[in-house]
Structure 1
Amino acid sequence: MNLARRIAARINGTRVPDSFGGSLEASEHVLASAGSGPRCVLVTSHGLWLPEAEGDRRIGWHRIAKASWEDPRLEVIEARAEEVVEGIEIVVDLAPQRFSLEPPGRVPQTVRQRVERSIAERQRREVDGGGVWFVQRREPGVDGILLQVRPDPGADRAQVRSLTAGIARRLRS
């Protein structure tokens, strides 16, 4: 991150770790940070920056399926689009990632607020073998709503696709 953005973030009261190696967008604002060295996390208006072997990577708020806090550990489950049916994403959860944050500062509460704020609406429907969540999400920095479909493990995939295609047709009309 460039020097001017580091200074602005410090003036606003947010500590930007020196080890942060990501590149923030011009419209992206730092909200909180925690951890130290190569294991720091950074919370911004656009998402959660997590440390990885290849460098820091941002997960947009609309891609976080679940985030939980059990002192001193933040657990994040990222959702990945497995399939797109008529413009609607069918997502699956990736393996949980865990980060020890000492001290955690405002990171846990800010992550929770941002994930919840990214959800515009959610509804559940039942299909053979389980249920399906239809979640309308706000994507940071983008106008409009993204519809994600999250089937339970074991939910009948053909029914999930059919239900998703029906919803897509109704949305277009």
Structure 2
Amino acid sequence: MGLLKKLKERRPPVPESAARHLDRDERALAWAQATTGQVVVATPQGLHVVGTDGHRLIGWHEISKGVWKDGLLSITESEPIDDHQIVDRAPWSLAFDEPGNVPVILRQRVERSIVTTRYYRLSNGAVWLIGRKIPGRDGLVWQYRAERGLDVSDATTKAEILDALRIEDEASRPADL
């Protein structure tokens, strides 16, 4: 029997309280129960967070940052402001005695969702352009994160940003299709 098969057989199943929120064909990559009772399940689609107050599925492309330190998993989600602009929400945290592979899978999946980043200078500031992959969708989703102090409501600035996004999107598409 292979080592991977042995490890999979030893891993306890996802608790029913969380498993019922997964799609029938959705595969759990890792799961852990927080010290406060919430269950997090990492799947190819994202991070399921299940607690007494409900269930949320956070897509990997919606997570800006995940940090594991001293038994605490801290997640910073991105918040869409419009079709392309994102900002960071306030981070939230859960404590774990035994996190399993959740921190490792979280890091891998968030990093894999980011296909490319570009720092783009504008006439009056700069933005980060981010091309992300969403499970089950073709192509990239383009987002931008404005540098502090940049007025993205300015029509000229907005036009520059949208032009930069268009250029990056066109450059990322296969030429032979």
- Rate the CA distance shift 1:131–1:167 in 2: closer, same or farther, 3 A: closer
- Structure 2 residue 169 is the aligned partner of structure 1 residue 165: no
RMSD: 2.6
**Cα separation, 2, equivalents of 1:14 and 1:61:** 24
Q: Which residue number in structure 2 is paired with residue 20 of structure 1?
A: 18
1:15 deviates by: 3.3
**Cα separation, 1, equivalents of 2:101 and 2:157:** 38
1:23 deviates by: 2.1
1:12 deviates by: 8.6
Structure 1: gaps (5+ residues): 1-9
TM-score (norm 1): 0.79
Aligned length: 160
TM-score (norm 2): 0.77
1:25 deviates by: 2.5
Calculate percent identity across the aligned residue pairs: 33
- Rate the CA distance shift 1:55–1:102 in 2: closer, same or farther, 3 A: same
1:58 deviates by: 0.6
**Cα separation, 1, equivalents of 2:10 and 2:157:** 46
- Give CA deviations for 1:91-129 in whole Å, capped at 9, x if unaligned: 111111101121011111110000001011101123477
Structure 2: gaps (5+ residues): 1-7, 172-177
1:26 deviates by: 3.9
Q: Where do 4+ consecutive residues of structure 1 move more than 4 Å? A: 127-130
Greater percentage in strand: 1
